[in-house]
Amino acid sequence: MVVLNPNNWHWVDKNTLPWTKEYFNDKIKGFEVKSSNDQSPIIYKISEVKNVSGDSNVSQRKGKPICYFDLNIELSLAVVTSDDNNEEDQTGTILLPEFMHDETDFEIRINGLSNDI
């Protein structure tokens, strides 16, 4: 009997991008933050995970797991500003063009919202 990869000693890769997409849809979609300014409360809500693309992998080398990712994430953001008499809804997008496993400082782009929010 020939064992080609005893004890996972050699590189073993698994693409986890489908799992990553499902995870973001389950955990981030519907996430909301409530804040208030001097005038009225504001609710920021992730209404949709529009796109998750890039690389997401779990590898194993010499029996040790290695997790790494380099993702492009696009989220839909809904902003609700409530006054006593009216509600004003705004929508926009949050883009993280390079969400990486070895970075702690991410570029975050927010598009489609007015500057007063």
Q: What is the CATH number of the domain that holds 24?
A: 3.15.10.20
- Tell me what pLDDT residue 15 has: 94
pLDDT in tens, the chain (117 residues): 445 666 666 778 899 999 999 999 999 999 998 886 666 778 889 999 999 999 999 988 877 888 999 999 999 998 887 655 445 588 899 999 999 988 888 899 989 877 665
- Tell me what pLDDT residue 19 has: 95
C-alpha angle with apex 54: 50 to 59, nearest 5 degrees? 130
Q: Say what the pTM is.
A: 0.77
Number of domains in the chain: 1
Does 54 map to a domain?
yes
CB 84 within 8 Å of CB 29: no
Domain that holds residue 49: 10-111
